[in-house]
Amino acid sequence: MAKIKICGIKRIEDINAINQVLPDFIGFVFAESKRRISLNEAVILKKLLNPAVKTVGVFVNESVNTIIELCDLKVIDLVQLHGDENESYILELKNSIKNPIIKAIRVRSRQDIKAAEDLPCDYLLLDSYKDNAYGGTGKTFDWSLIPKISERKKPFFLAGGINRDNLSFALSAKPYCIDVSSGVETDGKKDPEKIKEIVNLLRKQN
């Protein structure tokens, strides 16, 4: 059964909506973004969150020491690297923390996925490519580029423009986890009804 992550959680209202439906993961964005939150905000939100929900810290080309600090403070359970982090960066981080590492790839070709499969991370995250944006674009990519289960070396999160209307198609790619951000927003803010709807839809279709 595919898991679900709701990314870009910023406000106490968002946490209240999350606690009602308990997705598997939520994402706190610590990168440059309209969804960025500070460490202090993340600490407050984490305290209010039902502990059944794991937190993922989303970073873009962040210093390894900052990520280690957030892991030590137990603000985040998993680390999502959404920038240009290379193999030696990931290895250095892996040797310093126990938290699982997700490496995001912005997919333009099958080769982009192949080239990432042997990176020393626990999961890949397949997202759309857009010039001048690392993530949170609300844009889908060509899901026919995703390798069949028998050809995969790692479980992957599927991201990029997923919403209630394309969820069923996204699930047919058999991801480990569906990752949603823009698709559960209205006027740039997380929408509690859309969060409830997509989590419930995923559970029905799985």
Ligand X SMILES: O=C(O)c1ccccc1N[C@@H]1O[C@H](COP(=O)(O)O)[C@@H](O)[C@H]1O
Provide the binding-site residues for ligand X, judged by CB under 6 A.
7-8, 27, 29, 31, 33, 35, 58, 60, 82, 125, 127, 134-138, 159-162, 179-183
Shortest CB 197 distance to ligand X, Å: 15
Active-site option among 7, 71, 121, 177: 7
14, 127, 177, 179: which is the annotated catalytic residue?
A: 127
Is residue 7 flagged as an active site residue?
Answer: yes
Cβ neighbours for 178, distance < 8 A, ≥ 6 positions apart:
2, 3, 4, 5, 157, 158, 162, 167, 170, 171, 202
Task: Indicate the residue among 71 and 177 with the shorter CB distance to ligand X.
Answer: 177
Q: How far is the CB of 186 from ligand X (least distance, A)?
A: 13
Beta bridge partners of 105: 126
Q: Of the two residues 33 and 55, which places its CB atom closer to ligand X in the complex?
A: 33
Pairing of strands 177-180, 185-186: unpaired
127 is catalytic: yes
Quote the least distance from Cβ 150 to ligand X, whole Å.
25
Q: Which residues are the active-site residues?
A: 7, 127
